Structure 1
């Protein structure tokens, strides 16, 4: 059972306040795979990253770096009440430039779980509830106020608020699924050009296809095919810079049987065709 206490957004930022008494697979938020900040008001969750587990309990503030979302998951806990802030990368970069802060670097440095003391908890909860209030009231200045409050929380952390949580040792079923999925992910990263999809991986790891598909999505928030394509396109960006390789050569090198399909997938993830990307990189 879940209760959505509040959900609202402004340009580049989404905020959701949820109470739930079980660990559900579906997410409640506005953006997929963007920068995230979790604050736990009550109960507990578990933050898994780099094959380690950290307990998120009352008064913890957790930061998730977008680049590490495929290797990070927040799951577990019989009951919890949390506030989640999701931040679009385009806004984060723009805001960081305006404020003269490297905000992507900030999320990289503070990726993980921080425990706030009682005074810090009081201050952060006041700021988070104020964010909800101004969005509910739909005031003309709501977006500006939300962003001001978000920056004030970031400044608190930069000034030394919070202490790093120690690793929490657990061998629960979810942890086992997490470890198995990480093994599969690292295999994909090493053999991305040789893998065509879910069926290949199911055979390699001796797993049922539907089970593999379900746990992979649960842990990474990507489908298997999405993650394979992300690896291929990431490598394609570098290969395209080599003028000695034709776009067709690159497509074959990455394991795409049809050039038209490679072109379509590349455009989906990059926003332009491979040829347009090559031309754009020459002018920068």
Structure 2
């Protein structure tokens, strides 16, 4: 059973507050491949990264670096209540410039789980609930207030709040699935333009399609096709900066047989067409 307590967003930031009494692969949020902050209000989850696992329990604050999302997994636990903050990379970089902070470096360095003491838990929970309250009420300057609260949490961490928990010894079955999916992820990232979907990967790794689909979704929270498209679209963003390549050339280079399909997929993940994106990246 799942209870969505709150979802809301402002420019560059999405917040969702969810309680679950089972582990579901589907996510409740606004972005799939952006910087993330998890706070556990109750129950437990497990944070897998670099073949290690850490228990996320009440009062843990976890930071997920966008660049490490493909190799990181947050699953498990029969019950949990959490607040998830998702932050768009473009906003994070511009906000860091204004605040004179390397925020992408912050997420890279802090990637993982931090246990808060009771004093810091109380402060952080008040700030997170205030974010929800401000967005729910649609208060004037809500976006500015939410971002000020977010920065105040980040400053707390920069000033030394939180300690790293010890590695958690998880069951062999889950770790084996995690290791296998990590192997598949590396393959996709190297060969995304040559792969057309689940059936290709099942043949390459000698796995049943249904089993591969299930464990990939469980470990990554993405379907195989979603993950392949994310790799292609991330590459497309870089290629679109080069005016010497036509959009049709880029589409073919990434393995899309039809330009119309590339256009549709790009718009789904970026929010604008490839042509609009190219124009937006040109310096005035």
- Same-fold status (TM-score > 0.5): yes
Q: Is the 1:70–1:221 Cα contact (8 Å) retained in structure 2? A: no
Matches within 5 A, 1:130-149: 130-149=130-149
Q: Is the 2:3–2:19 Cα contact (8 Å) retained in structure 1? A: yes
Q: Is the 1:63–1:113 Cα contact (8 Å) retained in structure 2? A: yes
In structure 2, do the counterparts of structure 1 residues 238 and 14 end up closer, same or farther at CA, with 3 Å as the change threshold? closer
Higher deviation after alignment, 216-225 or 177-186: 216-225
Q: Which residue of 1 aligns with 2:45?
A: 45
CA distance in 1, matches of 2:155, 2:79: 30
CA RMSD of aligned residues (A): 3.2
CA distance in 2, matches of 1:132, 1:230: 29
In structure 2, do the counterparts of structure 1 residues 229 and 22 end up closer, same or farther at CA, with 3 Å as the change threshold? closer
In structure 2, do the counterparts of structure 1 residues 193 and 2 end up closer, same or farther at CA, with 3 Å as the change threshold? closer
Q: Which residue of 2 aligns with 1:201?
A: 201
**Partner secondary structure for residue 168 of structure 1:** coil
Q: Which residue of 1 aligns with 2:225?
A: 225
Matches within 5 A, 1:1-284: 1-232=1-232, 273=274
Q: TM-score, normalized by length of structure 1?
A: 0.83
CA distance in 2, matches of 1:8, 1:238: 30
Higher deviation after alignment, 145-154 or 207-216: 207-216
CA distance in 1, matches of 2:25, 2:56: 18
Q: Is the 2:240–2:274 Cα contact (8 Å) retained in structure 1? A: no
**Partner secondary structure for residue 3 of structure 1:** strand
Q: CA deviation at 1:234?
A: 5.2
In structure 2, do the counterparts of structure 1 residues 4 and 189 end up closer, same or farther at CA, with 3 Å as the change threshold? closer
Q: Is the 1:40–1:58 Cα contact (8 Å) retained in structure 2? A: yes
In structure 2, do the counterparts of structure 1 residues 225 and 150 end up closer, same or farther at CA, with 3 Å as the change threshold? same
Q: CA deviation at 1:142?
A: 2.3
Q: TM-score, normalized by length of structure 2?
A: 0.83
Q: Is the 2:42–2:58 Cα contact (8 Å) retained in structure 1? A: yes
CA distance in 2, matches of 1:132, 1:238: 35
Greater CA radius of gyration, 1 or 2?
1
Q: CA deviation at 1:26?
A: 2.0
Q: How many residues align?
A: 283
Higher deviation after alignment, 92-101 or 60-69: 92-101
Q: CA deviation at 1:240?
A: 8.1
